[in-house]
Every structure is written in structure tokens, then in C-alpha cells.
Structure 1
Amino acid sequence: MFVKLAVAASLVASVAAHATFQELWVNGVDQGSSCVRLPASNSPVTSVTTPDIACNANAASSKGVCQVLPGDEVTVEMHQQPGDRSCANEAIGGAHYGPINIYMAKVDDATTAVGSSAKWFKVSEMGLPSSNPDYWATEVLNDNCGHFTFKVPSDIAPGNYLIRAEVIALHVASQPGGAQFYMSCFQVNVGGSGSANPPTVSFPGAYSASDPGILINIYEQLNSYQIPGPSPYATTSPTVAATPYPTTATWNTALQPSTVPTAVPTAGAKGIGKA
């Protein structure tokens, strides 16, 4: 891995580089923030043992429930500031490099379910998505206007679910407690007639502060990266967009194509920052 150097002061991360998942799309149709439990701030959770690791701290309640079907393509959307959906701004900036994880949990009532009491199964993940060791999943978000798309498993049982979308920022993860977790929970109802109940984990409980994908120095040479948590259920690894979406507020609804980039689409070296 190319050594990432601390360069200009402008690359030092700030609070503005923090971010939240704010919106949901179903099969390319924008659901907005109608079914998200929006976190109270864009600050990260840093402890894997707090109940906040499930659905973030002081997340607002929501009465909205988005309708999905098994096999639907669902897109979660991240931005730095509430209500800012501009593609001209990075979804998560400040050298906040790391993986993306998507979990689901079957619950009795998505509007009242407690995330830390739910049982979660992973449905999608992305860490280092190509042979380029400097190109992280968070840069896929930045190249795609904050969008990350996954498929609802085709065989899961109908009913209410929570979707947990998560970025783990690793820019200061070389010390215990340095990894930063940015997550939001979305409330959905899954239709269909499936019957599968995948194996699950709990939050807190799924991660340890010493997991190799959480306690890690990403500025050293990496031959591989182990994404925290279980393997995704009944899904394949997502593909990566070859080119960024245009810098407008209108999203190109095409999903990430199969071409994987081999070069980082950025200018200059990456800096080490903390926020």
C-alpha cells in the first residue's frame, strides 16, 4: 500500500467531515428521509459496547415505514450535513477512510423497536473494493453522491425490519477507541412470502474494539483488510462505479456498474486527520 502522508493543513479533518445516512431509495425511487431515524448530530459513535452502536445516539423517532420487497434494490444516502444532498460536496470527507456495512433486523414494529435489542444479519459490505489499496468504500460513496446500493435478500420472511447502514472511519483507528462509527437505522416493511430467518448478531456484541478491522493503522502497508462483523447473508459483494456521478443534486439512478477502478480518482496525497 502506498504510504499516505500528512500534507496540507486543509487535509486535516474537521467536524464538517462527519456525516450521517439520511435518505433511502427503493428501486431508484427516492423515499427521502421519510423512514429514517435521523441521528441528533453527525458526530460518530466511538465505543463498540454502548447501545448507541446499534442505531446511533439520540436518534429521532419516525412514524414512517418504507415498503420493500425481497430482491428490491435499496440505496442508502449519506451526506455531511442534514438536508444537504448536493453532489458537489463529499458524502464523508476529512480523510475518513473505511468500510461500509449494511445490516437488517426483523422486528415486531419498526417504529418502536429498540436497535440494541434487535437481532441483526448483514446483507452487504464493502471494504477495499478493488486491487487499489488506497481506494476505500467511503470513496465509492464520495464518487457516487453519497449513494450505496444493495439488494434485499430474496428469501427473507415478510414483516417489519430495521436497516442499519454503517460507515467505519479508520483514519485514527491505530489506537483503541479510535475507530469512528457512523450509522443510521431505517424503518421498512418487507413484503413477499419468504420464510428464511438468517443467523444473527447483536449490537453491542458484534464487534470488539480489538477486531483487526477496527484496531488498525491504515497508513501502513496493507495486503488485505478484514471487514468487521459476520459475512453477508445470501448476497454477493457489491460492485463499484467506474466514474463519479455529476456534481448536481440529481442522482443518476443507474446502479454501480461492474467495472472496478484501478486508480484513485483524486488529486494529491491523502492526509492524516482527526475529527
Structure 2
Amino acid sequence: MKSVTTAALSAALLAGSASAHTIFQKMYVDGVDQGQLVGIRVPDYDGPISDVTSNDIICNGGINPYHTPVPTEVVTVPAGSQVIAEWHHTLNGADAADAADPIDASHKGPVMTYLAKVDDPTSLDVSGLSWFKIQEEGYDASSGVWGVDTLIANDGKVTVEIPACIESGYYLMRHELIALHGASNYPGAQFYMECAQIEITGGGSTSPETVSFPGAYAGSDPGITINIYQTLDSYTVPGPEVFKC
């Protein structure tokens, strides 16, 4: 890795002062639009979580109060299907006049998706759940492209494949991105996540290994405390490996 140049440091300071946030607010299942805010626990405020030890790291909330009414819808998702998660800067949805929609380009970092099996996907208590990761896009050192760069290029959309072998039933789908523009020291990384309420149908019998939130991340993780304003030969996405059937 190379040391930070003066120009890069200036860029880091400017990026760190940016105040452009984002919210996961729409889903598509095998190409079918499920509707704005349907089945997704979105907050009124589009700000980040910075404390990886807080329960707010699970499904957001806390300092970002839930938008009301909290959804009662549960979106049906066949096992093996493709889900598209769509992000935008504010709850107003896509805005071509907003230079920070879906998120400011300075907010570079990884994009990830987790699932947790639940008895009741509409329960407001999300503590104590067991999560497994089904998707991630980190950093491609050969092209310099981050997961967030791909999200921006796709107008805020991220495609996720639901594993065909997992059990049918109710789940929360935790979709997350981490902005690393201010992550040289902890707390500095910005965590954006929302949880969608889904029912997976036609599944199999596999039970993946799981992690807990909080607990899956530590502030000292190399993918969380990192200076991205240097030449990176690689990047370690936080959390467990992606589960594959």
C-alpha cells in the first residue's frame, strides 16, 4: 500500500464533510415491483449508524426513528429467485435533479445482504436473531470499483439471489452498505441498513451457519477501520463468508 498524498488527503477531508445519506426503500421479486416502502422497515431520517455494538446496527431505528406506519406487509419471495433492492437518497424515491441520489459518489464501500429466519417478520423486536450472509460486493482492486459504485451505476439497484436450498418460512432480509469515506478512525465508517419482511416459499432443508448482530462486526475489523485514500491491493468485507447452497 502507498502512503496518502496531499491531494488524496484533501479529497478525504472533503468527502468526510459530505452529508449525503441513503435508504433501502423498494424491492423487486423476479422483476416485479413490490411497491414503494412495501414490507421494508424504513426510517424517517436517512442517516447512518456508526456504533457496531449498538442494537441499531441490526435493522436501523434508534437514532433514525422508524417511518410510520411500520409496515405490516410481508413480501413473498420464492427460493432461488432474484430480488432487487433499490436505494435512494430520501424517501421521495428517485430524483434525477438530486446529485446525491441514490447516494453521494464519495460514500465508497461494500454492499451486503443477510437473512435471518423468524417466527414473526412483523415483530418490532429484532434482537437475538441468527443471520447469514447471502450477497456481498466489496472492492475490485483491478478496476478500483466498490460495491457502492456499482449501486450508483445501476440507479440504486442491487441484485440478490435467494439461495434455493434454505428452508421455507418467514425471514428478515437485512440489506446494508458501508460508506468508508471517513473510516480512517473508529467510529468513522457509516453503516446504512434496512430490513425487509419476507416469506420464502419452495425452499429446501439447509440451515446455514449464522452470526449475531451486534457481534458480527468489530470496530477494529480491517474492512471497517480503513483509509481508502491510498492504493489498496485488496479489501476484506466485514462479516462472515457468503453462504452458498
**Scaled by the length of structure 2, what TM-score is found?**
0.88
Kindly provide the amino acid, as one letter, of the partner of residue 55 in structure 2. Answer: P
Is 1:79 matched with 2:88?
yes
Tell me what 1:174 maps to: 184
Cα drift, residue 115 of structure 1: 2.4
Give the unaligned 5+ runs of structure 1.
236-275
Is 1:120 matched with 2:131?
yes
Give the unaligned 5+ runs of structure 2.
none
Tell me what 2:24 maps to: 21
Cα drift, residue 40 of structure 1: 2.7
SS, match of residue 127 in structure 2: helix
Pairing partner for 1:50 from 47, 50, 54: 54
Tell me what 1:99 maps to: 110
Higher strand fraction: Structure 1 or Structure 2?
A: 2
Pairing partner for 1:67 from 76, 79, 85: 76
Distance 2:102 2:165 in 1: 32
Tell me what 2:149 maps to: 139
The percentage of aligned residue pairs carrying the same residue is 43
Cα drift, residue 13 of structure 1: 4.6
Kindly provide the amino acid, as one letter, of the partner of residue 58 in structure 2. Answer: A
SS, match of residue 10 in structure 2: coil
**Scaled by the length of structure 1, what TM-score is found?**
0.79
Cα drift, residue 172 of structure 1: 0.6
Distance 1:25 1:42 in 2: 21
CA contact (8 A) 2:134 2:242 kept: yes
Pairing partner for 1:187 from 167, 192, 197: 197
SS, match of residue 34 in structure 2: strand
Distance 1:177 1:127 in 2: 20
Distance 1:163 1:31 in 2: 15
CA contact (8 A) 2:105 2:152 kept: no
CA contact (8 A) 1:173 1:215 kept: yes
Cα drift, residue 12 of structure 1: 6.6
CA contact (8 A) 1:86 1:145 kept: no
Q: How has the CA–CA distance of structure 1 residues 193 and 184 changed in structure 2, closer, same or farther, with 3 Å as cutoff?
A: closer
SS, match of residue 175 in structure 2: strand
